Structure formats: structure tokens, C-alpha cells
Amino acid sequence: MAEQIIPQGAERVPTVIAEDVHIVYRVYGGNTGRGSATAALNRIVRRQPSAGAREVHAVKGVSFTAYRGQAIGLIGSNGSGKSTLLKAIAGLLPTERGKVYTDGQPSLLGVNAALMNDLTGEKNVMLGGLAMGMSREQIRERYQDIVDFSGINEKGDFITLPMRTYSSGMAARLRFSIAAAKDHDVLMIDEALATGDRAFQKRSEERIRELRKEAGTVFLVSHNNKSIRDTCDRVLWLERGELLMDGPTDEVVRAYEKETAR
Amino acid sequence: MSTVSETTHDSAVALTVPSSPDDGLPAAELARKYGLAVSGARPSLAEYARQLWERRHFIVAFSRAKLTAQYSQAKLGQVWQVATPLLNAVVYYFIFGVMMDQKRSLPTNTYIPFLVTGVFVFTFTQSSAMAGVRAIAGNLGLVRALHFPRAALPISFALQQLQQLLYSMVVLALVLVACGHMPSMAWLMIVPVLALQFLFNTGLALILARAGSKTPDLAQLLPFLLRTWMYASGVMYSLVDNLKRTHASQWVIDLLGANPAAVYIDLMRYALIDDYGAKHLPPHVWLLAVGWAVVIGVGGFVYFWKAEEKYGRG
């Protein structure tokens, strides 16, 4: 009897657990001291490598648990620590305190992640797939889908040109298409959708829904509340590195909009 | 299970399930229960080697793609694969063969292949080192975008240099024949020599990749170190003969002769050039060749793996 009433929520399998995560950036060269070669040498001789290094406490004690099948939006003003938190989840930034546990290897997809600019789009699809651990057959199977999804060839045969000839939107679309071709356990998207046109955004939202169905967890950073509403069922609101709110999309986005409208 | 069903409605369940057997479980235990691992942790050495083996197709494809992309902006394109080593050899011949007259100890038709072999074999190690130091630092975009064992990058760059060397070997074969050194069975010896040198280069690239990712300044310093190494390796002149002429003590000769670049260069010359006899080789030459390859190759891999979780951070 229990089976029919238990929806997806009953067997909740955590995929990402963040426990009191603190992240501190150490920024070098942000000092106001003299920037000459002799000053630099002086610092090295006196063994003060951290002279002028400043600490930025970007994330302050964030805890949450993400479950399989969730799409989680991250909102907050610029510099609130959203991207930093994603990098820590992906294992690309060490935590100062606290721990992040993940199921498998989370993949972070950012706007700035360049692939190989001197190679053609075609080669990038192949190499990106191989690097993610797909086999040649799998890539060959999905190649056409990836190219169609990216919409690179809509305006001519661009896929056989080197990626350095692409516009920034085209490059971002191709990167997203490559990364989304694989079924990730945890996929994190950092504003990557903002670069595409409306048709591409629609396709991406659909793909995110598919990824969730394939028992994955998707994180989405966006300043576009509409795309958060369209794709996410849970939202984390970060402000000044602290988790301000964590709950269903409608509730949190409404509170956020109320706050930012003032 | 049935406790859950009473309070669940069908929509907002995923967020507001009130009681679950996992509630109140500390994060570490919850993580253990569902088999979650600390993000960005380094796998064991055996596991790392296995992951790397899984990416072998990526390593090969990446090295080929880089090789073809190298001259993609040049009008002559792939012709430069062969033209670059040839021009290098011509320049060195002009300086060391003609202007400084290093060839007096060897007949001209021996000196030219002697020089060309030295230049090509040393360039193989030199460019592997240069590619290695920038393997991580120069591919941060890729490192931060996709997950794969980072050792794939330096290995791939070393492999690219091996393929580049194979083009050079074609030039070298032509030079040899033009100087009257006909192909013989001894030429087959270059296969194990190249394999050992490739292993050595890969280890060197791995070591430099780790060092270069932490200290990018190394990329500025390395060309000077490599040039010094080149002059100490007897690329343009017979190192041992020159040292003997200056009455250097035996331990200096042995020490410089045991330098890996000199070992691989001399073995290659011994294999390819008829009248370059065994008297030019340092003692225990094969032992040295294998030893350098294994120590640097394996050591470099372990050294690189030790910092696996740190690449691309910060």
C-alpha cells in the first residue's frame, strides 16, 4: 500500500552535502604597495610572500543537502558568493573550514570555461567528450545531437571552423552542448544559459529537465528570475556569503524580488 | 516508510518531507551512508592510473589535434613539421660546423648526421619540457571546465612531441642517406632508445607541469636552463672528446656523460652512424638509459599525482 502513495520524495538520496562551508580567497597583487621589480624582490628576500595578500571571506558557513532529481537555483546579488560556492562543490576550490560531500564528480559549466580555441568545433566536441570519459562510439552517436542542440550550424557550416572564430555566444552554446551531452550525476551551470538566444535557452531548459529525470541534480546560477522559475524547484538565496533562505522556488524568489525591488 | 506517506502531498514533497530516517544524522555519516565522497579528493595511485588508462583515447586524440593545430595559422601548414627541424639543423651546422669548425675531429659526412641527430634528439626532450611546464598553467580553461585525470595533459604533450620527432626522423634518414650512411639492422636500435627517451620525457613533463602550475615563473626561467643543458650534453660537438682534449678529470667526464640527454643522443648516434663506434659511449650506457627512464618516468608520475587535487585551483 505504501508504494503507490510514496512519491519521489520518500527515497531521498542525497547527492551533495555541504557542511558549514567556509571559503577564503587569498588575493595577491591587490596591495597598494609599490609594484616595481625591486619591491617584489625585496619581499621575496625578506620572505614575505604574503605581503599585500588580502583575504576575502567569500562564503561563510553554508550548509545544505541536495537530493537526486532536484534542480536548485542560486540567487543573490553580484559578489554574494554563488559562483564561489559552485566551484567548491565541484572540488575546484579548497574549503577553509567545513566539507563538501558529493556523489561522483560534479561538473561545473561556467561562461568563462574555454575549450581549445585553436581547434575546430568538431574536434572540440570529440575531445570534450573523450575528456569527460565518453567512448568514441558514444560521441559518434551523439555528435549530430550535440551540434544540432548548440545551433552552431544554423547559420552555415561553422562547426568545421576553429573555435577562435566563434562569437562568445556561439562558443558558450557549444560548451554547454558538449557538457550536457553526458549524463552527469551533478551538473552545475553558472550563467551559461544567459549567453544564448531565446531558442537556445528553451532547449537548455528542456535538457536540464531531462538531466533531472535521469536521476541527476542540477544547480543553476542565474540573475534571470524567470529562468530560475522555469527550471528550478528549490532555491538557495545567498547574500554576503551567507545562506539567507532555502526553500521552494516561489517562496524564495518572491522574497528576493521584494528585497531587490526596494 | 508509512510514516512518510501520511504527510506527503504530491507537489512540494521533495522539499518538505518532515521525517525521514536520515534526519538528525550528522553530515559525515549521511555521506557515508549514501557513498558520497569528499569533493575534489585525490584518488589512490592505482585508481588514478586506472582512470588515466580510461582516458587513453583522449590523450592520443588531444596530442594529434594539438599537432595539427600547431601550424594551422601558417600558410604552408603542415610543411613546417618537417621544415622546422631541417632549418634548425642548417643553422647549427652553419654556426658550429662552419664558423666554429667543430667538425675537425670528425669527417664532414659523419659530422653532419652527428649534428642533426644531436639537435633532433635534444629538441625532443627540450620541447617536451617546455610543453610540460605549461601543460596545466596554459590549459586552465580545460582543467576548470571538465573533469579528467590531470596527468592526461602533460602525457599528451609529451606524446605530441614524439609524433613531431617522427617527422624529424624522416628528415634525419634523408640526411643519413645523403651522407652515405646506408640503412642497416643497427637502425632498429632506435626503437628502444626512443621508447626509453619518451618515458624519460614524459616523467620530466609531469614534474615540470606540477612545478609550473604552482610557480608559473618557471616558464620564463626554463629556456635558459634548457640552453645550458644543451651545451652540457654535447649536441654540437663530441663532449667526451672535447673534455679529454682539455685533460678534464675522469669523474667530470663520467658525470657529464651520464646526463640523460647525452646518453640518449649518443645511443642514437651509435645506432645510426656507421663510424660512430662504441668508444664514444659512456660506460654502462644501457643501464643509464633504462635507469633514467624508469626513475624519472615513474617518479614524475607519482610526484604529479601527489598534487592532483590542487591543479586549476585558486
Same-domain status, B51 and B171: yes
Count structural domains, chain B. 2
Same-domain status, B175 and B154: yes
Give how far A145 is from chain B: nearest CA, Å. Answer: 20
Q: Are A257 and A106 in contact (CB under 8 A)?
A: no
Same-domain status, B6 and B56: no
B115-139 pLDDT, tens digit per residue, is: 889 989 999 999 999 999 999 988 8
pLDDT value, residue B314:
54
Split chain B (314 residues) into runs of 10 and give each run's mean pLDDT.
39 46 74 79 90 92 87 80 84 80 73 88 94 89 79 95 91 88 88 96 96 88 93 81 78 84 92 80 87 96 91 69
Same-domain status, B14 and B151: no
Residue in B with minimal Cα distance to A64 = B27
Q: Is residue A152 part of a domain?
A: no
Q: Is residue A221 part of a domain?
A: yes
Q: Are B133 and B85 in contact (CB under 8 A)?
A: no
Give how far B166 is from chain A: nearest CA, Å. Answer: 22
Same-domain status, B226 and B99: yes
| Chain B CB contacts of A88 below 8 Å | 39
Q: What is the pTM of this model?
A: 0.80
d(CA A116, CA A128): 9
> Between A121-131 and B56-70, two packed helices, what is the crossing angle to 10 degrees?
150
Which residues span the domain enclosing B10? 1-36
| Chain A CB contacts of B41 below 8 Å | 91
Residue ranges of chain A with pLDDT lower than 70?
1-11, 27-35, 47-53, 110-115, 192-196, 215
Count structural domains, chain A. 1
Same-domain status, B57 and B167: yes
pLDDT value, residue B252:
81
pLDDT value, residue B2:
39
Q: Is residue A48 part of a domain?
A: yes
Which residues span the domain enclosing A70? 2-106+184-261
Give how far B110 is from chain A: nearest CA, Å. Answer: 41
A240-262 pLDDT, tens digit per residue, is: 989 999 999 999 999 998 888 77
Burial of B205 (0-12, 13-18, 19+ CB in 10 A): buried
Cross-sheet strand order for the sheet of A54-67: A54-67, A14-27, A97-102, B37-38
Same-domain status, B103 and B192: yes
Contact A102 B57 (CB under 8 A): no
pLDDT value, residue B313:
66
Q: Is residue A177 part of a domain?
A: no
CATH code of the domain in which A198 resides:
3.40.50.300
Q: Which residues contact B266 (CB under 8 A, 6 or more apart)?
A: B234, B257, B280, B281, B282, B285
